[in-house]
Amino acid sequence: MAETGRNKSQLAEYLGVSKGYVSQLLNGDYDHRMSKFFELALAFGMVPQIDFVPVEDYVKEDKCLSEK
Protein backbone atom coordinates (compact mmCIF):
# COMPACT_ATOMS: atom_id res chain seq x y z
CA MET A 1 0.00 0.00 0.00
CA ALA A 2 2.84 2.39 0.84
CA GLU A 3 4.56 1.81 -2.50
CA THR A 4 1.44 2.53 -4.54
CA GLY A 5 -0.19 5.10 -2.26
CA ARG A 6 -3.37 3.04 -2.05
CA ASN A 7 -5.54 2.75 1.04
CA LYS A 8 -7.38 -0.46 1.99
CA SER A 9 -10.46 0.40 -0.06
CA GLN A 10 -8.41 1.25 -3.16
CA LEU A 11 -6.32 -1.88 -2.77
CA ALA A 12 -9.46 -4.00 -2.41
CA GLU A 13 -10.89 -2.48 -5.58
CA TYR A 14 -7.61 -3.05 -7.45
CA LEU A 15 -7.49 -6.71 -6.36
CA GLY A 16 -11.21 -7.25 -6.91
CA VAL A 17 -11.82 -8.30 -3.32
CA SER A 18 -13.59 -6.84 -0.28
CA LYS A 19 -12.03 -4.36 2.14
CA GLY A 20 -12.48 -6.98 4.88
CA TYR A 21 -10.47 -9.45 2.83
CA VAL A 22 -7.63 -6.93 2.53
CA SER A 23 -7.73 -6.49 6.31
CA GLN A 24 -7.43 -10.27 6.72
CA LEU A 25 -4.42 -10.30 4.38
CA LEU A 26 -2.71 -7.47 6.23
CA ASN A 27 -3.36 -9.09 9.61
CA GLY A 28 -2.11 -12.49 8.42
CA ASP A 29 -5.50 -13.97 9.28
CA TYR A 30 -6.22 -15.99 6.18
CA ASP A 31 -5.96 -19.46 4.68
CA HIS A 32 -5.75 -19.53 0.90
CA ARG A 33 -5.54 -22.02 -1.84
CA MET A 34 -2.33 -21.86 -3.83
CA SER A 35 -4.24 -20.49 -6.82
CA LYS A 36 -5.30 -17.45 -4.77
CA PHE A 37 -1.73 -16.98 -3.54
CA PHE A 38 -0.46 -16.90 -7.13
CA GLU A 39 -3.30 -14.60 -8.21
CA LEU A 40 -2.46 -12.10 -5.45
CA ALA A 41 1.27 -12.24 -6.15
CA LEU A 42 0.71 -11.58 -9.86
CA ALA A 43 -1.65 -8.70 -9.04
CA PHE A 44 1.28 -7.09 -7.22
CA GLY A 45 3.59 -7.71 -10.16
CA MET A 46 5.46 -10.49 -8.39
CA VAL A 47 6.16 -14.04 -9.57
CA PRO A 48 6.13 -16.54 -6.71
CA GLN A 49 8.74 -19.27 -6.79
CA ILE A 50 8.38 -22.49 -4.87
CA ASP A 51 11.42 -24.63 -4.20
CA PHE A 52 11.26 -28.09 -2.68
CA VAL A 53 14.25 -28.88 -0.51
CA PRO A 54 14.91 -32.02 1.54
CA VAL A 55 14.35 -31.31 5.24
CA GLU A 56 17.88 -32.38 6.10
CA ASP A 57 19.37 -29.85 3.66
CA TYR A 58 17.16 -27.07 4.99
CA VAL A 59 18.10 -27.81 8.59
CA LYS A 60 21.81 -27.87 7.73
CA GLU A 61 21.58 -24.55 5.88
CA ASP A 62 19.54 -22.95 8.64
CA LYS A 63 22.04 -24.14 11.25
CA CYS A 64 24.97 -22.74 9.25
CA LEU A 65 23.24 -19.38 8.86
CA SER A 66 22.38 -19.13 12.56
CA GLU A 67 26.00 -19.82 13.53
CA LYS A 68 27.25 -16.81 11.55
Domain residue ranges of the chain, discontinuous segments joined by +:
8-67
Per the rule left: phi > 0, alpha: psi between -120 and 50, beta: everything else, 16 is left
Separation of alpha carbons 63 and 5, rounded Å: 39
50 backbone dihedrals φ, ψ, rounded to 5°: -115, 130
Separation of alpha carbons 43 and 63, rounded Å: 35
Q: What is the pTM of this model?
A: 0.55
Q: Which residues contact 47 (CB under 8 A, 6 or more apart)?
A: 41
Q: For the chain, which ranges sit under pLDDT 70?
A: none
Supply the pLDDT for residue 65.
Answer: 81
Supply the pLDDT for residue 4.
Answer: 82
Supply the pLDDT for residue 10.
Answer: 95
